[in-house]
Structure 1
Amino acid sequence: MKIMVPVKRVVDYNVKVRVKSDNTGVELANVKMSMNPFDEIAVEEAIRLKEAGKAEEIVVVSIGPKAAQETLRTGLAMGADRGILVEYDGETEPLAVAKILKGIVEEENPSIVLLGKQAIDDDCNQTGQMLAQLLGWPQGTFASEVAADGDSVNVTREIDGGLETVKLSLPAVITTDLRLNEPRYATLPNIMKAKRKPIDEKTPGDFGVEMAPRLTTIKVEEPPKREAGIKVESVEELVGKLKEKGVI
């Protein structure tokens, strides 16, 4: 079984995001970038499936600038076998990404496409679902447990009020949630080995996909600062303060 894991290069989750002075977007110059945390969880789960003897090959895929090779190398250092970079310097939107991934799936023929449920930069939570629709494959979203079983896979997913387990026939698309696993750190020997693993380079044109954005960002602003809270001595004082604020 082959597993394909799409990964995205985003601002590192430990970095405090700054809005550009002209409010056109987020400042990316001289900012640390890394693999999207949800995608990192997907890479880890793919490696665990391989270690359990359920998969033979893991292919990591990224759509982004040349620098996204670093993100792919991270996946290769964790344990993936090879990478594919679809080089594109502009902003990417979920539908265009899903169309490119569909083209790669048709070339690679994986049994499972395992990807993060969302990217922490745009928070769209759409690519996995769109890809499943384009392929006509079953999908298991927000996975907190994945258990491959022959020609099917059981996905335990988080829903309001509890957990739901669905059985998907392969091939299938699975999106990962935070509680699925804890990704490993790449060891120095594996980081060195990753430098020798192959990365194929392609362009959106190879898949006949138009990347022109369909959405226009009008303005980006930081959230307003919260006012300091106050302590009250009694319920009556609390009600009085709420009345002053016009809340009640």
Structure 2
Amino acid sequence: TGSCNKIVGGIQRFEAAQAAKVTQLPAYLLEKVESSMDLLNVVAAYYSPLTLIDKANLIGIARKMGFTKTQIAEGLFDALEIPPQAHLMNDYLFLLKLPGELQQLIVDKDLSLKRALIFQRAEAHLDWVVQLIQNLHLGINMTAEIIQNIWEMAQRDDTDFRTKAQQMGLWDIAREGIDDPRPVVMDIREKINAARMPHLTAAEETLKQTIKAAKIPENVKVKWDPYFEKQGLEMTFHAKDLEELQKILRGLSDANLEPVFDQI
């Protein structure tokens, strides 16, 4: 609270000692905390290094104390090792909306904030995400790919996340009894590719024209993999000597390639 002027750290140690009927235990007592913001900084320092969820919890507590986003960014973010940008506040507060299972996944896998925010794509269906992970024993990479692709195609077709997942035959998979998840995961990949392919086929034709217009050297072979696992360009070429190599590299200038990568 705002009137707090001392804190005893490591409460879990005391709870464990109490359960073991230990009556005395050394304690760290931190005194002379001048303000509640100082207190939050003390807690951050005491428990450092903090997990992503720890940081989110401290930011949430600061908000409950009445601090503005700017005050928190300026007064607490440094202790949390977060860039002092107030707009990051909502990203961390979003993590507090996640079910406990997803918060624990973030901690166990030591996810970055950017990676953890993939769950924003399915914010209205987080219980479904939990069921999907548990039912198919999914890792974070496959989970992220499924969420991202459903979201992208929902945006493309101007529909909502659940409707698109149902159209792709993915919604009920989270609740079906599954003995061996491996063939199901392979089936999910096929369904995602099938849903994306009409769009990607058209995009590939357009990309061919863009590559042609970019005047990429003729002896450079360009391959584009439309599958969602590997979105990018694969460029190969053969140079018989240094002069030819330098000529090819000049032909692959930023100005030539920029429209190609913009399209991807």
TM-score by length of 1: 0.22
- Higher relative strand content: 1
The structure in which a higher percent of residues are helix is 2
TM-score, normalised with respect to structure 2: 0.21
